[in-house]
Structure 1
Amino acid sequence: MRHDEGQWVRLAEIDRAPVFFSLDGTPARALEGDTVLTAILTVRGALRASDFTGEPRAGFCLIGACQDCWIRTEDGQRLRACTTGIEAGMRLLTRVPGTSSTDAEHAR
């Protein structure tokens, strides 16, 4: 899978209002009512790289019970992508600052 293809394909509810946000410094678009996880996986092949192996991760339980979907905002706030709603203007980071490994590199 190429890193610029989404992991998820939206099949319904495509007429909801767009929500614009930033993902690792790149402008991105979601739909009103999406979770952060949905917003990211409709534009990218993985949510983030594993902290342990560097392999791509896309969430695990999808209900907020595990630790697989934690990401950060540019201001350092940690959030659970599967249970946090996307908001206009969010500036999200899927890689740990100071590392060169990104989920996009591993999702090819």
Structure 2
Amino acid sequence: MAITPNSGAEISLEEAQKLIQNFQAKFPGEIKASFYGIETLNLILNQEGIIGVRIYYGYDSVAKKIAVVLVGVDSTGKDMTAILVDKGEDCPNNCDITSPLY
């Protein structure tokens, strides 16, 4: 399936909870989430020709934790590597403990 500006789909709270529960059961010592501010996200989103964002999963061997790298994607499906984002504020340090996703 080709990527488009409409790739991805909204899911229910229950589906999200199940995905998160499965992850936390499989990786109990890992981060629960990462927060990225709007200004940082806009560095990616304001690039000319962007149609979406790809998220790569990595591992920070210094901090010993899963990491994500966000990159813009153009209409041909190519990564726009001029601006890459990582170093979000991780949960459990910065979490909404009242969230049904927590």
TM-score range, shorter chain: under 0.3
Identify the structure with the greater strand proportion.
2
Q: When you count helix as a share of all residues, which structure comes out higher?
A: 2
Greater Rg over alpha carbons, structure: 2
TM-score after normalising by structure 2: 0.24
